[in-house]
Amino acid sequence: MAVELYFFQPLGTNSGRVYLTLLEKGVDFVRHELDGRAFDHFQPDYLAINPKGQVPSLVHDGRAITEGAPTMDYIDDAFEGPPLKPSDPKARWRMRCWAEYIDQDFGPAGMMLNWSNVVRPFMGERSRDEVEALLKRVPTDERRRAWKRAYERVVPEAELAESRRRNEVGAARMEAALATSPWLAGDDYSLADINMFNFFSWMPRFQPDLVNAEKTPHAMAWLDRMEARPAVQQMRAETTGRRTPPQTGAETT
Ligand SMILES: N[C@@H](CCC(=O)N[C@@H](CS)C(=O)NCC(=O)O)C(=O)O
């Protein structure tokens, strides 16, 4: 039955982790790439699928499946292909701890830094009236506040500093984990690696002081192992040429 994915771009953070899970499982899916800059994700048709107006959303047999980490779990359960959850309960627990950490801490910190860099540049050309009209289409107060703050560049330095601190802690945490096992949950490649990949793979480029060959050699070797995976190569190939990644790393959102 039909499988459809709505996303911003394959290498996006939240979009990418679900996109990569589908590729790893070998699921044939219809790709609906939304343009965040055109506010496609706030169009009524898309809000009917995901009332929060966020990506990604999977539609399977007519049912909308949302929220990245639970969607990855769903894909692993619902489709054939290599299992992406370890069979050992302790490794499975470790995998779920990574998911929790990415959703609650590391992921939002990275996204916040990206937002502060990118929203104003692409909203900046629009008049205040245009922006006010766009903001009216944002379905939740929380997201409306986030867009407005980014547009107006009123994110306090203390919040940005806290996000940078969390990224630094995350880099150290990755290095410590990967010094003891080849994959994040242990000996087996799992959803934990897929989940982290798109959040972390930008760091050597955009935060080279935190992630580099001297400071985090195990994390760098993990990135190489990830890049060697056919599914990751496919994801990159499907991204190349679609949009030019800006200097700021904007396309990581
Ligand atoms: N909890 C959601 C978070 C999704 C999310 O934050 N998506 C971002 C893109 S990475 C988004 O849709 N941003 C647009 C917006 O909030 O307006 C998930 O896990 O899927």
State if residue 71 touches ligand 1 by the CB under 6 angstroms criterion. no
Token duo for residue 129: 């009236």
Token duo for residue 238: 């499907």
State if residue 117 touches ligand 1 by the CB under 6 angstroms criterion. no
pLDDT on residue 244: 38
Ligand 1 site-directed mutation target among 6, 8, 14, most atoms within 8 Å of CB: 14
State if residue 13 touches ligand 1 by the CB under 6 angstroms criterion. yes
What is the number of other CB atoms lying within 10 angstroms of the CB of residue 122?
13
Ligand 1 atom nearest to 18, measured from its CA: 20
Name the amino acid, one letter, at 63.
R
Could you report the per-residue pLDDT of 162-206, keeping only the tens digit for each? Answer: 999 999 999 999 999 999 999 999 999 999 999 999 999 999 998
pLDDT for residue 34 is more than 90: yes
State if residue 54 touches ligand 1 by the CB under 6 angstroms criterion. yes
Q: Any idea which residue has 């897929």 for tokens?
A: 194
Residue 14 Cα to ligand 1 midpoint, Å, equals 6
Torsion of CA 9, 141, 4, 93, to 10 degrees: 80
Residue 43 Cα to ligand 1 midpoint, Å, equals 15
Ligand 1 atom nearest to 146, measured from its CA: 16
pTM of full prediction above 0.95: no
Measuring CA to CA, how many Å separate 75 from each of 62, 95, 132, 157?
Answer: 15, 15, 38, 39
Token duo for residue 141: 């107060």
Strands 3-7 and 30-33 come out as parallel
Q: Please report the sign of the dihedral spanned by the C-alpha atoms of residue 65, residue 251, residue 196, residue 27.
A: positive
What is the per-residue DSSP string for 60-91?
ETTEEEESHHHHHHHHHHHS-SS--S-SSHHH
pLDDT on residue 1: 60
Rounded percentage of the chain residues whose pLDDT exceeds 70 = 92
